[in-house]
Structure 1
Amino acid sequence: MSAQPGGPYGPLIPVPDLNPDALRAAVAKIAPSRLPALTQHLFEATTNAQQTQSLAPLRAFVHSWAVFIAIERHPERAARLRELERIVDAGEQDPAKAIDEIRQIRRAAEAEAGL
């Protein structure tokens, strides 16, 4: 794991390495309720990789969970993303600005994770 600067209070955890064990350890610290989903996704990715003889499913697993962790390790950013998703899901207002901000959050998370 490498340290990265965060918001005014800093991130909850350092940026993990991009491998299943490090991602699992990070999720266990910041969102333990998501461990079953991570385990299931890893099982499916491994099975698909074997069946297709491709690393693409494993790369997708790493990408997905690295972005999740990069977002969730900053509670303010995670809360803002959930609020933006609620705005889009509610359909009560034009979602264009919310969607744009969601994209910005995800791009920042990808960069932070080294993707």
Structure 2
Amino acid sequence: MSAQTDDGPYGPLIPMPELTPDALRAAVAKIAPSRVPELTRHLFEATTNAQQTQSIAPLRAFIHYWAVFVAIERHPLRAARLRELERFVSTGEGEPMDAVTEIRQIWEAAEVEAGLR
């Protein structure tokens, strides 16, 4: 299995947004509108946790998660490959190590693309 991170001549659906809650929400609304409620809940939880702990770590985790999500989902072939690999691993059939390695490669490439590495 090899990482599929390029959509050929079609390119990404949207440019990589700024790493702010508003920009990430707008991007998710364009590429995965069904996930906006989850993003909104996650942001509320991160904000609440940040206030309670007096730490920005929960907000950083929020930004990291959703930036990687957008970096993956803005490339339809990459996103489809990731879902395929996740299904393979979750079935428990076959040897999952190659799939897990490829999942990690997709996530790492998305982190680089989002400017998180």
TM-score bracket for this pair, using the shorter chain length: over 0.9
Shift of 1:36: 0.2
Higher normalized contact order (CA 8 Å, seq sep 6+, divided by chain length): 2
User: Counterpart of 1:3?
Assistant: none
For 2:73 and 2:101, the matched residues in 1 are separated by 19
Aligned residue pairs, count? 110
TM value normalised by structure 1 = 0.94
User: Counterpart of 1:7?
Assistant: 7
User: Counterpart of 1:98?
Assistant: 99
- The residue identity in structure 2 corresponding to 1:108 is A
Task: Note the 1:1-115 alignment, pairs <5 A.
Answer: 7-8=7-8, 9-115=10-116
For 2:35 and 2:13, the matched residues in 1 are separated by 16
For 1:100 and 1:39, the matched residues in 2 are separated by 30
For 1:19 and 1:81, the matched residues in 2 are separated by 24
The superposition leaves residues 61-103 of structure 1 with CA deviations (integer Å, 9 ceiling, x where unpaired) of 0000000000000000000000000010001101000000000
For 1:45 and 1:92, the matched residues in 2 are separated by 36
For 1:93 and 1:40, the matched residues in 2 are separated by 35
For 1:10 and 1:87, the matched residues in 2 are separated by 26
Shift of 1:7: 2.4
Unaligned runs of 5+ in 2: 1-5
The superposition leaves residues 2-46 of structure 1 with CA deviations (integer Å, 9 ceiling, x where unpaired) of xxxx52110000000000000000000000000000000000000
Once superposed, what is the RMSD of the aligned Cα atoms?
0.6
| Identical-pair percentage | 76
Unaligned runs of 5+ in 1: 1-5
Are 2:68 and 2:114, in contact at CA under 8 Å, matched by a contact in 1?
yes
